[in-house]
Structure 1
Amino acid sequence: MNNIISAQEAISAVQAGKIVLCRYAGNGTLHPDQEFSTLDQVPATVFFAPDYEFCIKRETTTLAEIQFTKPVEPHDLEFGQEIFIVMPTCILRTQYDSEHGDICLSVANGFAQLDEENAKLQLQAFGKTFGNMITDIEVKDGFNDKPKKRAARSKKVEEQKPTVVQSVINSIENSLVAESMIEKAQDTQYRNLLNELIERASLARTVIEANALYKYTAQWTDEQRKPLEDAINAKISKLEKDEFHLDIGKKSEYEIEFADLHAVVMHAETPAEANDVIGKTQHWTEEQRKPLIVEISKKLADLNPPEKSESSLMCRINNCQTLEELDSKVIEVQQCDPVIQDRLMSYVNQRRTEISLAADDRMPWDDE
């Protein structure tokens, strides 16, 4: 698969930026290596040792999920070098001749390989591109003779009839045909992926999920991306419209529930009846629940007015003179309705601060 080159040619190839491989060729006593290795795996002295051989690692390409080495180019070949030309029905084994028109066209148009294996892989890739599976591939010897020149006659020129092989080569290796094959393969892959992405866009459940499909189009042009962009924008518009209607529906549902529960609070005859509505607001947010809690607090104050002979608990908290007396009021707060406990505890904490500062014979304004 690899052309053997000399140590000097290997050094020149490295300087030219190519990847050079090396292996031990054997010395008659030790067996040679079966595989080539990169230069970083062998000592630098191999360039000056007689028992090593080198080759240039050839680049590969992939078509229709089949990988093969890139077709050989004219500047990489020497006169008489063996090459394998990819034909529609077989592989032709021949030698490179820059004066042979059919051979030159085959190489220039990308239908020549340096080895039989990659020539077969390239033919299989062409077949698979158009939905055909090529298995039995025959290797034939061809292009042994230079094409004959047409004989000129005094009255009319009689054209030489081309052979069947020459006719096939002239058609298949035309540069426009080669480019068309590649373009068709790429277009088929593009359209298959486009259809799949459009389908996934239609099934997207969120805006983020729809926009994420753009990551598969990094190599596309704006024109290629346009159909998918239209499908994504249409889906996003639908998602936003549905979400808007859902929000409106939830808002209307909340307003109806609030009105019903507010009416229950307003007509409650006992504290328990007023407090019971809180259990029906578990699916509300804190912001939605806040107005109803305010109304419940007001209703509880109406249902439990302070006795005339006693001050309200809030007033009694503010009248505490010692921390011990204030702690006794905390017990009373804990026995109150949970809805008003937080507010009463804020008065307790405020009075505790005042009592502590007074015990130090100073108030905050005394420091000014």
Structure 2
Amino acid sequence: MNILNGNEAFSALMAGKNIMCRAAGELMEFDDLDQFPATVFAMPNYEFCIKIDFIELAGISFLKPFSIDELVADQEIYICENYSRITKCQFIPDRVEMRDAVISGFVQRDRENAANQIKAIQKALGIETEIYFQEIDYKELLAALATKNREPKKRETRKKTDVNLDVAKTVTPKGTESTDEPWGEAKNNTSEIVETHKPNSRPAFTVDEVAEIETDTDALLEKFTTQILNCTTTDAVLSIRPIFFANGHLDREHTQHLCKLTEEKLLELDPEQYAPKQIKNDHQIYIDALNVCSKVDEIETTLRGIESEGFSEDQLTEIEQAKQAKLAEFQEKVIAQANEEQYQKLLAELIERAQKAGSPKEANALYKYTVEWTEEQRKPLMSAITKRLNELNVDAPQVSEPPSLMVQIQTAPDLTALDALEIDVASRHPDIQPKLMGYVKTRRFELENGATQ
């Protein structure tokens, strides 16, 4: 199971993979991602993995086989062969037959699931045979073949024959010798190396080319360097790589140097295919994580350790802008909540005063506190005032049908109530303000001169 960090897990999630998570260093099992906060990708001390789906065939379940993008060179794999055999070996990307097996869905993750996959196929086909297991160590046998090729050979003219490097150490059941070895040459119970000659997907090297094995490191480096530089096709470059890997006289630093030369040559011959992918830190992960934060302390947790991510100045600026925008959003929410709390407190106080008002004048005077309120905010107080006016035997509209502003002006009981209504006129549409102000002036004249309606 490959353990992923936050960036890798988020990229895999965006690519459509099912991601699981757990606390880093714990013995607990991985759990589904929905059990963790949305900011977990940017939080420290968590690790991730890709959830592998199960396949069911003929009533038998097994893990979904490997795909090419999951495998790296030398990774342990289990190949399901001929519906009756499992081959354990290392994955070698240059081997076409291995890549074909992966693409075809016949490369499993462990022996148990490989066996279950073969059993399911057998059951679906209505057959039942014994399943054999063999283990192949390519590196060990390639080294053995390289040593054998370095032994002195007689000078003689020989027909050029491709030497296939597919040699293998095979474990066959019941002490029998395997005769069908598509993945390499078998090493039987007597530990004898058997050479076979099979067509390869690309030319390897010939017996004449290895008749005299070089042992001098400098000479070998010069030879392979020349061969790589003189290649005119990518297949030719790729065919040289297994040769210098199998040579026992080159150290690790030498093979790394030659690998670098092959990569440069491949890039020269086919830039589109072999151009290195531009990989950069994805600062958008942090921006997305900030956008889903619900508290200030979550922002601090999300951005912890961001200095070590290697972001550019522009990327850090974008992250800071996202942080400030989120803080501003929190501030707006806090202000809105404070305003709402203040409104509810004042409303409760005014309703209580309305319920205790001893006269219509006292009840109507409460309107002046609602100048900056909306019509919706004012409704509960208006209902309380109207109810109290009814209790005081004042002719007022029913609660179910609040009086219009015009009616309130025409029935204003005193100048104080009229002043409050005049303020309310200013909040109405400009087109009707002149008409309402006319009613205000008329009612003011009536109240000042002691007239009644």
Which of the five TM-score ranges fits, normalised by the shorter chain? 0.3 to 0.5
Return the index of the structure with the highest Cα Rg.
1
TM-score, normalised with respect to structure 1 = 0.37
Larger fraction in helix? 1
